[in-house]
Amino acid sequence: MKLGQVSRFNILQYLGIGLAVFLTLTGCQTLFKPPTASQIHLKLGNPSQATTDPQNSTNFLIEKPEFVLSYNSTTGTANWVSWQLNPSWLGIVKRQNNFRPDETLPAGWYQVQPNDYRGTGYDRGHLVPSGDRTKNLDQNSTTFLMTNIIPQAPKLNRGIWSDLEQYCRDLLKQGKELYIITGVEGKFKTIAKGKVTVPAWNWKVIVILDKPNQKITENTGIIAVRMPNSNSFKKHWRDYQVSVDEIEKNTGLDFLTNIPKTVQDKLER
């Protein structure tokens, strides 16, 4: 067949096949792999060096497309959850309310049930809020897995904790991108016959980029809060702002480890 007889479409098709063969032979196809959940949501670092080894049952790394968390099988809750928040995660999907056990936990581990919270006086409080994942049904549904849920005092959950969650989403209207880590600290009591620990404190660290993929510097915005898991609290989440250093001191975690040490130290102070 003469070149003049070959359609433009066929030329492009042949070029595409040739490129695919070249990438396969050279191994360069790995350059086009989508980022992993940890690469997206743990951009700032793994604060407890959690691993996917089931023997590490108090600091077990669970990766979901929507977030990454460190799970503690002895408390029945996450130690922390980390996620990216920008407009690409938001849409018009309604709250699914399909609380359910996380069946991906290693064999033999207790899977916390939604009814374990029934009659306890505590809400099934989200760590990654349902409102942060409204792009599609699957993303919103994943936030209702019990590995993303903690026993939270109702007035806190529905009050200033919720206010802070909404504030984060409001920042997106200014074109910002956020990286958020939130978790639990201490033990107040247990529920579900000792299978689930009620934390004494809730905390959150929020790194605020003025635009997606912006380099983090000592002038990057950051918010850290530490709130008692109680129905009695102050009027505004800003009343509970602390340094990142204080949260590290109380939890033993190490935040922002993927940031140059000099910048990390200044932001944490």
Mean pLDDT, range 78-83, rounded to an integer: 98
Q: What is the average per-residue pLDDT within 37-61?
A: 97
- Please tell me the predicted confidence (pLDDT) of residue 163: 98
Instruction: Assess whether pLDDT exceeds 90 at residue 91.
Output: yes
For residues 132 and 140, what is the distance between their CA atoms, to the nearest angstrom?
8
Which residue is catalytic, options 43, 64, 124, 126? 126
- Strand ranges (E), the chain: 60-63, 68-72, 77-85, 123-126, 149-152, 177-185, 189-191, 196-198, 201-209, 221-228
How far is residue 199's CA from residue 82's CA, in Å, rounded to a whole number? 18
Lowest average pLDDT, out of 15-19, 109-113, 257-261, goes to: 15-19
Q: What is the mean pLDDT of residues 224-228?
A: 98
Question: Which one-letter amino acid corresponds to residue 50?
Answer: A
Work out the pLDDT band at 32, boundaries 50, 70, 90: low
The pLDDT, as a whole number, for residue 233 is 86
Pick the closest to residue 74 from 56, 99, 89 (CA basis). Answer: 56
Measured between alpha carbons, how far is residue 97 from residues 34, 77, 144, 154, 174 in Å?
Answer: 30, 18, 7, 16, 29
Q: In this predicted structure, what is the pLDDT of residue 2?
A: 47
Does residue 126 have an active-site annotation? yes
The residue type at 121: G
Q: What is the pLDDT of residue 24?
A: 54
Q: Which residues lie closer than 8 Å to 73 by C-beta, 6 or more apart?
A: 57, 58, 60, 105, 109, 110
Would the pLDDT of 31 be above 70? no
Residue whose C-alpha is closest to residue 129's, from 67, 209, 202, 196? 67
Q: Is residue 155 pLDDT above 50, yes or no?
A: yes
Q: What is the pLDDT of residue 3?
A: 47
Q: Which two tokens stand for residue 245?
A: 């250093």
Give the confidence band of 33 by pLDDT, cuts at 50, 70, 90: confident
Question: What are the residues whose beta carbons fall under 8 Å from the beta carbon of 130, sequence distance 6 or more?
Answer: 95, 96, 140, 143, 144
Is pLDDT at 268 greater than 80 in this prediction?
A: yes
Tokens of 242: 């602390």
Q: Please report which helix (H) or strand (E) contains residue 132, including its range.
A: none
Q: Mean of the pLDDT values across residues 50-79? A: 98
